[in-house]
Structure 1
Amino acid sequence: MTKCTGKRCTSHFGVICTHHQWLTELSCLNVAFPSSIIESYLPYCSRSVLAKAQLYLWIRKVTSRTWLVDVGDANGLQNLSPASLAKGYAAVDVINNAPTCLTDSVSALSMEPFQHVMASCSFASTSQHTGNAARPWEYSEGLRSMIALDFETVGYNLVRGRIGDGDYFDKDCFCNAFTIDLEKEPCLGSGQLDFTKERLWINATCGSAYLPDDWTKSLKTTQFAYIPIDDWHWPKCVTDMPKQVIELTDQCATDACELGGYCKVKRAVDRACFCREIRYDICGGSCQIFETRIDYIKWLHDLCGNVQDWHGLPDNWRQLAAPTPLDMIPWRWALKPSNDSDIPYVTRSGHIKATETCASNESKLVSFALVNIATFLVASLGQKTGIHRITRGFLWHSHPWCWIFKGTLIAGLQLLANWLNVLLVQKTPGYKDVPVIQLMLLWCSMPRPAWLTILLIGVQPFGETKFFAAVSSLFAEMILQLISLYPMVMTVNYGREHNFYLGGMEGAERMTPAIFMYAGALIWLIIFSVVFAQYMRATRRMNRLTRPGRLDLPKCQRDKQTTSKIAELMAHLDVMDKSGVSEEKPLTRSEGRDHTVYGTFTDKGQVYWVSPKEGSRLYAATVISMLFLWVAQWSFWAGFIGLSSEEFCPPQLKVLTAVWTVFSSVGAIVMMI
């Protein structure tokens, strides 16, 4: 430009020049800027497509050429678009996310500093002039050379697009100009956090193609190896964890990079550091108890299960991560010998006898079945031998509440049998701590064939004695079923609290017997509730159908003031039976236009209505309900015995079975007389 610049006269007065000025001859510049001169600057100026386009526009303006070095090398520069920036752009501020070891490094090939490469690829939102845009050049006589008075920065507006005000850089320009020696990375020896920042910055700016294939290895990120403090959580049993475990989060705390672009430093817990100091048995209390234990094991497995060389869980952790058979038993006591009961004991005769081994589950169920069979056989033989005929004139038939007394006596015999069996259990070495009341209540829920005995009574003509046998048996069963509420409600409530009815037993050992036990308890409770509601409804209906009055009742029901509505109603049925009245066509008699009496007795001013069909339906419903309760109890006990084979180990099972059989048989005889 100095060659093409000279002092020219710009004003004349005649032949005299009145004003001289240094001017550049444009036609000279076309020759002074040949492609050979531009070629030496082109590699640097063409790093960014925007800088190359700016150079092209200046060359075309100065020299009127439409190429830079070779014809055609400026194709596409005339009509740029945002897509011309191959990798796009980023704000220059992102270099703040790069570690110092990277920003202070130099390019591996060109040895050009990081900051210099970044500057060569930078651009502004719009082209800007620094200096005098109207007079960009001036000749200095002192320097005898042209000097620049204006510098124009490249702007994004060259692509006919707009972005926010600020400084940006061309990603493709930077990534191709700044190269890294993968064997000698700038931050390789500057610590793991800086090394992580470097690789994340290169990946977010240039992509993984500019990094090794295993570039994510050994990074200090919150993806797995480091857990952000904000995402850290303790198990439910944290209150029972020792202090040294709680303090591990502070001891293993460090800074790590959060994934998602450039590094965002987060305070995190070093997973490997934490897991080295923790194992399953280091925490006791609630961490070893059922649901909190399951939560604790899952927490440990999720936290440390994939940590290399960590073996902090016991070998049977999969079984512990699901409810164990002991966990699924609703009560916290067990019917088994204590720890010291395995020691042989000396009998009165001086012989040494070892503690009796636990009976098999089959033996326990067979013992229950034998009690049921024996009770049924006694009731059946009583029907055939006619015990009720022998005792028709027995003393208690003169009392109006004889069926209540007999029912209470039958239930009392069952409770007495349970109490004697509990005493036998407690007398056995190793069983002295067995809870008396709870074991008695549990045994009251054992299945009893009361429905069979009542069914046997009902298949023959229904007389006075038969009525009291049925009602007394039903009353005894009601007492025992009411006592059974305690273990059944406890079982259902325990299953509800621990989600056993909605999949909480999935994967548990002995899941099948547990399902039978909890299903039996729930079915029993539903049937009991329905039967109780129907009983209350039937009682109210009887109160409406049988009004107070004086009737010609049998001996057992005769009293000046009878208070039993059930006895009154069944007495009507008995009178009908003895007088030979057909159940299909009950006698009727009209007393006046408004009074009609059904049956064989008259009471003016009152109406009594007794339907044999309705009585039969009620009787059948009672037998079926008791059958369902019996089936539910069998399901409960079969499941319970299968679930608690080691925890429910009654000693001397044959003796216990004999006691139940004897007392149940006596109860059946009492029912018949």
Structure 2
Amino acid sequence: MVSTTLNNAQYFPWNWTITSIDPAVHQCPPASSLLGTFAAVNGIVSVIAVIFGHRIILQKISCGMFGKKGSRAWTYMWLLPVGLQLSANAIIAAVIKRTAGYHADFKIWQLMLFLVARPRLSWIVLGGFAFQARKPSRKRSEPLIPVPYASPGFKASSPSLQPYGSVYSMGSYDQSSYSVDHLLQTSPNPSIYAPATTDDTSDDYPWWSAFMSQFIGEFMLQTIALYIMGLTAHFASGHGYYEISKRKLYHSLPHGAHMMYAGALYYLVAGSGFLLFASLFIFFNIRASKYIAKANTPAIVLVLVLLLVSTWMGSWIFWAGFVKLAGNLYCPPKLIHQGVIWIIFSTIGIVLGAGM
């Protein structure tokens, strides 16, 4: 079994591995645990994204600092989710490399870029909520601030009873000076006596900022992941692993290699369509002065399904094939630590990416 696993290294387009020095002391996690970590992170981060990606919730917990209505901070705040994901990957790579009992001959940047290709789901989940609009508030008018009543003949005994100008005089009470017009003219802040009308009838999409920052961030991360997928597909193509006509060579490949190469090729093909669509979508929304697009439920469902079966599915196929092919050659320690790091950094990216 060990010799078979070592022979599988020839199917990798990279020359680094992560192995346990003493498998009896440090056992390698099974493929189900590796993929299960991705699934758990996806599920937890997606729930967090729906909660803390909501503009009003974020506005309340940040005391108004974040979650401003109509904010277009997502046009640049996507940099934070991208930077945080790369930072999380770099920290995980450093943790693996410095864990005693394991041999890891990769460079930090190599594993950092490799982990960018992991599947992420929260941006798709946010897309399912991003087009949900809150009902706008109605216009409301506040009445004039009540003017204190004073009976005829009232005489003020102190200048402190003269709030604005000569509403009350030191002599006899002048009822004509008690009019609203007089208050508006003599008050140092006449606006407090005017009817306060607020117009809050514009559309409000509370998940929009969080979705757009995550969507643009995912666009950039998937562009980076094209390097890993392209490297894998180029390696397989150069060795003739895609040529079904070479039946002996094709059927001699391990099943994990077939999945990894197929996932990389699928990612490249589907990813090209996604990146084209995403670039147009991002360009349109950046150029728009405000969010004006309307989408019906069937259209949203169709787009989300297409996203799920494109690069997201390609990532899963690639990783499922890789961990099955690698076996003990990919033996990363501290899976729980990795998951916690991804969850924390992803949560920070969602909160900050939602905009100011």
TM-score band w.r.t. shorter chain: 0.5 to 0.7
Partner of 1:486: 227
> What does the per-residue CA deviation read over 1:511-567, in whole Å, with 9 as the maximum and x for residues that have no partner?
322222111111111112122333455678x4xxxxxxxxxxxxxxxxxxxxxxx24
Pick closer, same or farther for the CA change 1:456–1:395 going to 2, 3 Å: closer
> What does the per-residue CA deviation read over 1:76-131, in whole Å, with 9 as the maximum and x for residues that have no partner?
xxxxxxxxxxxxxxxxxxxxxxxxxxxxxxxxxxxxxxxxxxxxxxxxxxxxxxxx
Partner of 2:92: 421
Alignment of 1:164-243 (within 5 A): none
1:458 has 2:141 as partner: no
Partner of 1:331: 14
**How far off its partner does 1:375 sit?**
0.5
Supply the AA of the counterpart residue of 2:118: M
**How far off its partner does 1:386 sit?**
4.5
Partner of 2:38: 368
Partner of 2:74: 403
Partner of 1:342: 22
Unaligned runs of 5+ in 1: 1-315, 344-353, 543-565, 574-610
Higher strand share: 1
> What does the per-residue CA deviation read over 1:393-425, in whole Å, with 9 as the maximum and x for residues that have no partner?
436959976213321111111111111111101
1:475 has 2:239 as partner: no
Partner of 1:440: 112
CA distance in 2, matches of 1:359, 1:419: 21
What RMSD over aligned residues (CA atoms) do the two structures have, in Å?
3.4
CA distance in 1, matches of 2:78, 2:311: 18
**How far off its partner does 1:357 sit?**
1.6
Alignment of 1:52-131 (within 5 A): none
**How far off its partner does 1:572 sit?**
5.0
SS at match of 1:655: helix
Alignment of 1:530-609 (within 5 A): 530-536=273-279, 542=284, 566-569=285-288, 571=290, 573=292
Partner of 2:155: none
Partner of 1:660: 342
For the pair shown, the structure with the greater C-alpha radius of gyration is 1
Pick closer, same or farther for the CA change 1:468–1:392 going to 2, 3 Å: farther
Alignment of 1:257-296 (within 5 A): none
Contact between 2:59 and 2:65, CA under 8 Å: does it hold in 1?
A: no
CA distance in 2, matches of 1:427, 1:416: 16
CA distance in 2, matches of 1:408, 1:632: 24
CA distance in 1, matches of 2:205, 2:97: 44
> What does the per-residue CA deviation read over 1:38-95, in whole Å, with 9 as the maximum and x for residues that have no partner?
xxxxxxxxxxxxxxxxxxxxxxxxxxxxxxxxxxxxxxxxxxxxxxxxxxxxxxxxxx
**How far off its partner does 1:433 sit?**
2.9
Supply the AA of the counterpart residue of 1:571: K
TM score, norm. by length of structure 2: 0.67
Contact between 2:18 and 2:104, CA under 8 Å: does it hold in 1?
A: no
CA distance in 1, matches of 2:311, 2:25: 36
Partner of 1:521: 264
Alignment identity in percent? 25
Aligned counterpart in structure 2 of residue 502 of structure 1, from 234, 237, 243 = 243
TM score, norm. by length of structure 1: 0.37
CA distance in 2, matches of 1:537, 1:480: 17
Aligned counterpart in structure 2 of residue 637 of structure 1, from 311, 319, 324 = 319
**How far off its partner does 1:484 sit?**
0.4
SS at match of 1:649: coil
Count, aligned residues: 278
Unaligned runs of 5+ in 2: 135-202
CA distance in 2, matches of 1:662, 1:327: 36
SS at match of 1:651: coil
Pick closer, same or farther for the CA change 1:535–1:654 going to 2, 3 Å: closer
Q: Relative contact order (C-alpha < 8 Å, sep 6+): which is higher?
A: 2
**How far off its partner does 1:448 sit?**
0.3
CA distance in 2, matches of 1:478, 1:536: 8
